[in-house]
Amino acid sequence: MLHAPFHDVTTWVFDLDNTLYPPHMRLFDQIEVRMTDWVMRALQVDRARADHLRAHYWQTYGTTLAGLMAEHRVDPGPYLTEVHDIDFSVLAPDERLAQAITALPGRKIVYTNACVPYAEKVISARGLQGLFDALYGVEHAEFHPKPSPQAFARVFDRDGLDPARAAMFEDDARNLAVPHALGMRTVHVAPSPEPAPHIQYHTSDLASFLLDLLP
């Protein structure tokens, strides 16, 4: 039996970037550069302004894309394709993480603010392909990003999971507020803890945390 209070968890929800791979692999750094380049061209601004807008939209709307859609009516399709056209060779397979996820009872799903085609490439590069029952991207939330309650509602309703019997693993602390309010177990996956009422657990090593839960 799993260690309490995870013993009755039947759905394990994992974020993707900086959660299913560690931040030191710096994959998202490539995406940030491509997002800034895209903003420069689309809005006809210099790099400093584009970089400011990228970060501002992320902070205000949850993702840069959400801000671009809200304020500039950007078509998400071409944007998502371009910013995720990156080098995945910086990622390495993680046998311990694969072992831990495989051993978890119940359903395992990925829910990311990125798109599913990108998620599939990350999962493959980490040696985690075939381990998840479902992959959900921002397209499944009608382009509402986490931490928006509408985003979680659309994805969780689509999946049919019971929040009272689910756990969420996420590197962005603010994205755990809604899951906590829904009754999910919340685990912040990051190098350093960010104490907050909606964060129940913290780990800097997802594989070790999951393996420690197993009997």
Mean pLDDT of 71-76: 92
- Position 212 pLDDT exceeds 70: yes
Claim to verify: residue 135 and residue 121 sit in the same structural domain: yes
CB atoms within 10 A of CB 142: 10
Residue whose structure tokens are 């939209």: 57
Claim to verify: residue 125 and residue 206 sit in the same structural domain: yes
Compute the distance between CA of residue 52 and CA of residue 84 in angstroms, rounded to an integer: 20
Task: Say what the pLDDT of residue 69 is.
Answer: 87
pLDDT tens-digit profile of 123-155? 999 999 999 999 999 999 999 999 999 999 999
Task: Say what the pLDDT of residue 53 is.
Answer: 94
Into how many domains does the chain fold? Answer: 2
Domain end, chosen from 83, 102, 128, is at 83
**128 part of a folded domain:** yes
**62 part of a folded domain:** yes
Claim to verify: residue 108 and residue 199 sit in the same structural domain: yes
- Position 3 pLDDT exceeds 80: no
Claim to verify: residue 53 and residue 147 sit in the same structural domain: no
Mean pLDDT of 30-49: 93
pLDDT tens-digit profile of 190-202? 999 999 999 999 9
- Position 4 pLDDT exceeds 90: no
**42 part of a folded domain:** yes
DSSP β-bridge partners for residue 170 = 188
Claim to verify: residue 111 and residue 59 sit in the same structural domain: no
**3 part of a folded domain:** no
Claim to verify: residue 113 and residue 71 sit in the same structural domain: no
Position 213 confidence tier, pLDDT thresholds 50, 70, 90 = very high
Residue whose structure tokens are 């394990």: 12
Among the listed ranges 2-16, 87-101, 106-120, which one has the minimum average pLDDT value? Answer: 2-16
**2 part of a folded domain:** no
Mean pLDDT of 78-95: 95
Residue whose structure tokens are 């999946």: 159
Compute the distance between CA of residue 150 and CA of residue 167 in angstroms, rounded to an integer: 19
- CATH code for the domain in which residue 74 is found: 1.10.150.450
**46 part of a folded domain:** yes
**167 part of a folded domain:** yes
Claim to verify: residue 134 and residue 186 sit in the same structural domain: yes
CB atoms within 10 A of CB 77: 11
Claim to verify: residue 16 and residue 32 sit in the same structural domain: no
Closest CA relative to residue 157, chosen from 140, 132, 175, 138? 140
- Position 1 pLDDT exceeds 80: no
- Position 91 pLDDT exceeds 90: yes
Residue partners of 30: CB distance under 8 A and separation at least 6: 86, 87, 90
71 alpha carbon, distance to own chain's centre: 23
- CATH code for the domain in which residue 137 is found: 3.40.50.1000
Claim to verify: residue 97 and residue 177 sit in the same structural domain: yes
- Position 33 pLDDT exceeds 70: yes
Claim to verify: residue 199 and residue 115 sit in the same structural domain: yes
Mean pLDDT in the chain? 95
pTM to 2 decimal places: 0.93
DSSP string, 124-164: HHTT-TT--SEEE-GGGGTTPPTT-HHHHHHHHHHHT--GG
Domain that holds residue 160: 11-21+93-213
